[in-house]
Amino acid sequence: MTDMVSVKGLNKVYESAGRRVEAIGDITFSVARGEFACIVGPSGAGKTTLLKCLAGLLTPTAGEVLLDGVPVTGPPPGMAVVFQEYGRSLFPWKTVRQNIDLPLRQKKLPRAERDRLVTDSLGAVGLADAGDAYPWQLSGGMQQRVAIARAVAYEPQVLLMDEPFAAVDAQTRADLEDLVRSLWRSLGITTLFVTHDIDEAVYLGERVLVLSASPTCVLDDVPIGLPAERDQVTSRSTSAFAELRTRVHRGIQDAKAGRRTSGAAA
Amino acid sequence: MKVLDATRPGKAPAAPAPRRRAARPRIAPLVGIVLAALAAEIVPRTGLIAGDALPPLSSVLAELGRQAGDAALWEALGRTVRTWAVGLVVAVVAGVVVGVLIGLVPILRAITASTVEFLRPIPSVALIPAVILVFGTGFESGVVLIVYAGFWQVLVQVLYGVQDIDPVAHDTARSYRFSVWGRVRYVIWPTALPFVFTGIRLAASVALVLAITGELVIGTPGIGQLISVAQSSGATTEMFALVLVTGVLGVLVNTGFRYAERAVLGWHPSVRRSAGAR
Amino acid sequence: MNILNFLRRVLYALGLPAALVALWWVTSVNSTSYYFPPLPDVLDQFGRLWLAGRFADDVVPSLVRLLTGFLVSAVIGVALGVALGLTDVLRRGAEPVLEFLRALPPTVLVPVIAIVAGIGDGAKILVIVSGCVWPVLLNTVEGVRAADDVMIDTCRTYGITRGARLRHMVLPAAAPQIAAGLRQALSIGLILMVIGEMFAATNGLGFSIVQFQRTFAIPQMWSGIILLGLIGFALSALFTVVEKRVLGWYLGLRESQKRNG
């Protein structure tokens, strides 16, 4: 089976008048078709920069990103992104349905097909009745559900999520985690989920990539051997979960302390 | 589209976004000015617009140089600025006093809201004929027009400002039993200050427009009257030179008040916020 | 309780205006002052002049000029503003020239335009456009430039580019700022309509009022001033109604942001 996403020797340097900041040192990894991978790192680890390079929103200084074997040079058609700032990513002048519909119109899908996709995706995120509301009439968690519905309706090959739940309260967050997990299980979309929350990464992913502090490299690649059926209470209280969390946590602590002993103990 | 993308390199919290803009030499504004000047020179010479009625920029500038040596221009300029300044001061003082008063007393605010909304959009130039009859064609006519137009600008901004007061700050002041004067001095005034300044800045440019318009239409001595005379006597080049002077005056007023605002309110969170955002 | 509330609001809205009109009426009704005729005389003239023949001869032409000028300014201002807002080099090149043109008191262009374009309807409209276009243009540039980074990225990832991006993202995002510019333009336009007609014209509201003043037809002159005031108020109210409809989403958004701190 070919890799869906493959990153080779990625390096990103920001240059401005007289200053040169190396955000990403050297990142290489790949994600298989249908895999759910979480990317976790300390704050300031260039996570957003990495995600933007993956999404084709930033051009890497060196190295390349391949989507299904094809080099990414700009935003590729088969990729959907859910941003952390739902309030700034949804169009406040469009209703929920129109927000989800707009990218589909750009794909030139026929009307009936678009209507079906919008209705299905709204149902899938549990917002079947909110289609005619404006985003700002909804709570933060519901707005992020709309953003997820928009991504799902787009029928992407790869779904990128950039700390999507960092701005919602704890209870909503747990609900949204379960939603993303169940969507992944039913649709099988290759998913890359960026977060700074270790528990979230372990709970959601089939695999967790641990990033170092900037200039970033991959410190650890942790396979998450938890059963596919996960539950907020029981899964998080198992000893397997605790061990995985400890391993990732130690990696992050090392990263913060500036140690870059590439613990590729996978 | 490409340029837009180049200047918006996406937000990267870890690393500072590259600002290629700063690295490039500031050549574009110069090119713009040169192109505009060339157009102002060449278009009149071709006679494409209005035959030979339009003087080329070079002769307008030469005329301006000649006028600059003439005391009449400076005297007219002085009169215009005086009308502007007196009208502006009266408008600002009246606007601030009435605004704070109305803003502080909720019942006054409720009663006057509809009247303010009604009187504000009335164009001050509508009053010109009445002002001529009552005040004649002197300096006072211009001042009255300026005060009427400037007053609303300041008043409305002050009302916004008083409305913007943080309820927590207000409750704090009340719970510590600040006097009315204390509340005005330490809570209301600092909050409303940026709004007051916006009002003053808007009023200053409106006042200049009305000072010159008054002279133009009423015939009060000043730059506007010189323009009117030049036009009716067919001295086109002179007229354009004077129009140029009013433009320079306008730029001075606009930029002067913008700098003053930044200098006076540099400490204020609203200014710091907007400076940081761009 | 609700009815009482309603009545109180009506009282607040109409109380002071009614009192002011009554005051004007009472103090002027026995006026022998030449310049301040009794209000009943002014109102009598108002009905006779403006509700009859002069409405079609003077008021309608004035309003047509104003609206034409306003619409032309809106189209030019938004189109140029979008172009400058999206193209950084163009905007920086045009900035000093725009700064000068904006600072130019618009009324000084009245005699200039009289030379270039004469004193016909076209010239009157040109006068209005020459003053109205700047607030629309500058506000559009600001609105377009303030587009949100995340929203731009969203458009790029979902293939919303070119025309679609302009229509679905750039213009709606800039709309509140554009509306602020249009509102300024409307009041400047009204002023320029009047000045243009006062300066040189054969009909129109501004022309009529100046005629009345020069022929010392004082009650007629006051009635014209009142009419101008009413038009100013009506246009501003109409603008508010349209703005509330078109920018309903924006008002709702701001309301919800305020509620959530």
Class of domain B71-277 as given by CATH: mainly alpha
3-class DSSP assignment, residue A198: helix
List Cβ neighbours of C197 (8 Å cut-off, separation of 6 or more).
C62, C124, C203, C204, C205, C206, C207, C210
List the subunits that have 3+ CB pairs under 8 angstroms with C. A, B
Q: What residue type is C171 in one-letter code?
A: L
Indicate the range of A132-146, B38-52, C52-66, C156-170 predicted with least confidence. B38-52
| Annotated domain spans of chain B | 71-277
**Cα dihedral A85/A91/A96/A99 (nearest 10):** -100
Per-residue pLDDT band at B24 (split at 50, 70, 90): low
Interchain pair C96, B216: CB under 8 A: no
Instruction: Name the pTM for this structure.
Output: 0.87
Average pLDDT, whole number, for chain B?
A: 82
pLDDT for B261 beyond 60: yes
List the subunits that have 3+ CB pairs under 8 angstroms with A. B, C
Interchain pair B121, C236: CB under 8 A: yes
Which among C9, C100, C108 is the top mutation candidate for probing chain B, defined by the most B β-carbons within 10 Å of its own β-carbon? Answer: C108
pLDDT for B1 beyond 60: no
List Cβ neighbours of A211 (8 Å cut-off, separation of 6 or more).
A27, A39, A40, A41, A42, A45, A46, A47, A50, A217, A218, A219, A255
Residue B157 · residue B198 · CB < 8 Å: yes
Interchain pair A23, B13: CB under 8 A: no
Distance CA A36, CA B139 (A): 79
pLDDT for B15 beyond 90: no
Residue A57 · residue C150 · CB < 8 Å: no
CATH fold, domain C58-259, is MetI-like fold (1.10.3720)
User: Shortest Cα distance from C15 to chain A (angstroms)?
Assistant: 37
Residue A37 within any structural domain of the chain: yes
**Which residues of chain B neighbour C14 with C-beta distances below 8 Å?**
114
Residue pLDDT, tens place only, B110-167: 888 888 888 888 888 888 888 888 888 888 999 999 999 999 999 999 988 888 777 7
Per-residue pLDDT band at B271 (split at 50, 70, 90): low
Q: Which two tokens stand for residue C224?
A: 């014209």
Residue of B nearest to A17 (CA): B23
Residue pLDDT, tens place only, B190-223: 888 888 998 999 999 999 999 999 999 888 999 9
**Which residues of chain B neighbour C170 with C-beta distances below 8 Å?**
none
Nearest neighbour of B126 by CB, restricted to C14, C15, C225 = C225
Interchain pair B17, A45: CB under 8 A: no
The enclosing domain of A221 has a CATH number of 3.40.50.300
**Which residues of chain C neighbour B120 with C-beta distances below 8 Å?**
236
Q: Which two tokens stand for residue A156?
A: 């992407």
Work out the widest C-alpha separation in chain C, in whole angstroms: 76
* Residue-level pLDDT at C35: 83
* Residue-level pLDDT at A108: 92
Mean of pLDDT values over A62-67: 94
Residue A147 within any structural domain of the chain: no
Residue pLDDT, tens place only, C68-111: 999 999 999 999 999 999 998 999 999 999 999 999 999 999 88
* Residue-level pLDDT at B13: 35
Residue A12 within any structural domain of the chain: yes
Which among B11, B24, B26 is the top mutation candidate for probing chain A, defined by the most A β-carbons within 10 Å of its own β-carbon? Answer: B11
Interchain pair C194, B133: CB under 8 A: no
Per-residue pLDDT band at B7 (split at 50, 70, 90): very low
Nearest neighbour of A14 by CB, restricted to B15, B22, B23 = B15
Span between the terminal Cα atoms of chain A, in Å: 20
Quote the Cα angle for A215-A217-A219, to 5°: 130
Which among C107, C116, C149, C227 is the top mutation candidate for probing chain B, defined by the most B β-carbons within 10 Å of its own β-carbon? Answer: C107
Residue pLDDT, tens place only, A214-227: 888 999 999 999 99
Q: Of all residues in chain B, what percent carry a pLDDT higher than 90? A: 42
Q: Which two tokens stand for residue C9?
A: 């609001």
Higher pLDDT, C7 or B88: B88
Residue C58 · residue C224 · CB < 8 Å: no
Interchain pair B18, A15: CB under 8 A: yes
Q: Which two tokens stand for residue B68?
A: 């600059």
Mean of pLDDT values over B80-93: 96
Residue A264 within any structural domain of the chain: no
Domain region containing A236? 3-78+156-257
Mean of pLDDT values over B1-5: 31
SS3 content of chain A, % helix, strand, coil (to 5): 40, 25, 35
Which among A52, A53, A93 is the top mutation candidate for probing chain C, defined by the most C β-carbons within 10 Å of its own β-carbon? Answer: A93
Q: A-contacting residues of B 16-55, CB under 8 Å?
A: 16-20, 22-23
**ipTM tops the 0.90 cut:** no
Domain count, chain A: 1
Residue A222: CA count within 13 A, CB half-sphere: 31
Residue A136's closest CA among C259, C82, B44? Answer: C259
Mean of pLDDT values over B38-64: 87
